[in-house]
Structure 1
Amino acid sequence: MQQKLELGDRQNLIKVKEFFTKVKLLNEKLVNQVNKNMKKVIKGTVERPRLSIFRSNAHIYAQIIDDTNATTLVSCSTVDPEIKTQIKKGNTCEASKLIGQILATRSVEKKITQVIFDRGRYMYHGRVKAVADGAREGGLEF
């Protein structure tokens, strides 16, 4: 049985929805501000490009970026077909470590050995740390 909402209940429900949408917008603003501040501090150059990490719930993406020319030099993710065959799930530390190793081998082929590590808004823990460890094992220097 559904209850009919009275006029006061409907107004309260609308106020609650408005409150949560404001909180969501404020949270998005804060996240964008943190990312903007990080980009001011961390810049990649031609000699030492930036290794950027993006982590979703299902996959992890890593790319080496030259910020002076605004170009992506090397990229790798758990969505790549050649990597999908080697892993079961894209959201594990083992998959992240593999991404770091493959990214490092691709970058060494392009004669990139030194990078600046940009963890973005993510803590240096878990999958982000696994990518960094894999990249170090593959031959990149931070």
Structure 2
Amino acid sequence: MTKNVSRLRRAKSTRLHIRKLDVARLSVHRTGQHLYAQIVTADGAKVIAAASTLQKSVAEGLTGTKNKTAAAAVGKAIAERAIQAGIDTVAFDRSGFKYHGRIAALADAAREAGLKF
């Protein structure tokens, strides 16, 4: 079993649990160079808010896009955009990635910016 297959298996079980909660989910994806976050409705039909290190508004002032500082900037941006859209409670979908490093930094920054999960 490859690393990616294991990650997707973990993601599937998490998403099944989140679907039962019937709440919007904050989905995170991590690559070697960038970090992406989006808030999806409970049924998965619509993206409510999105932020990534590719966006100039998020990436300005950062020294790099693949560190914890960049992850915190994405977390803060996604929380602000979610609150503007009227969403304040979400379920955190880490997409099978382990909860440490950049993923944890994004989650902590989103909580500090006012998002509850």
Task: Give the TM-score band, short-chain normalised.
Answer: 0.7 to 0.9
Query: Contact 2:8–2:95 at 8 Å: present in 1 too?
Result: no
Look up the match of 1:75. Answer: 50
CA RMSD in angstroms comes to 1.6
Q: 1:135 to 1:29 in 2, by over 3 A?
A: closer
Query: Which stretch has the larger CA shift, 30-39 or 49-58?
Result: 30-39
Look up the match of 1:34. Answer: 10
Look up the match of 2:31. Answer: 56
Give the number of the structure with larger relative contact order, counting CA–CA contacts within 8 Å between residues 6 or more apart: 2
Greater helix content: 1
What is the alpha-carbon distance in structure 2 between the residues aligned to residue 113 and residue 60 of structure 1?
21
What is the alpha-carbon distance in structure 2 between the residues aligned to residue 32 and residue 69 of structure 1?
17
Query: Contact 2:9–2:96 at 8 Å: present in 1 too?
Result: no
Look up the match of 1:140. Answer: 115
What is the alpha-carbon distance in structure 1 between the residues aligned to residue 6 and residue 70 of structure 2?
30
One-letter code aligned to 2:8: N
What is the alpha-carbon distance in structure 2 between the residues aligned to residue 74 and residue 60 of structure 1?
15
Q: 1:30 to 1:133 in 2, by over 3 A?
A: closer
Look up the match of 1:105. Answer: 80
Look up the match of 2:69. Answer: 94
Q: 1:85 to 1:122 in 2, by over 3 A?
A: same
- The sequence identity of aligned pairs, in percent, is 31
Structure 1 stretches of at least 4 aligned residues deviating more than 6 Å after TM superposition: none
Look up the match of 1:117. Answer: 92
Query: Contact 2:49–2:82 at 8 Å: present in 1 too?
Result: yes
Unaligned runs of 5+ in 2: none
What is the alpha-carbon distance in structure 2 between the residues aligned to residue 33 and residue 82 of structure 1?
33
What aligned pairs does 1:3-42 form with structure 2 within 5 A after superposition?
26-27=1-2, 28-42=4-18
Look up the match of 1:130. Answer: 105
Task: State which structure, 1 or 2, has the greater radius of gyration over its C-alpha atoms.
Answer: 1
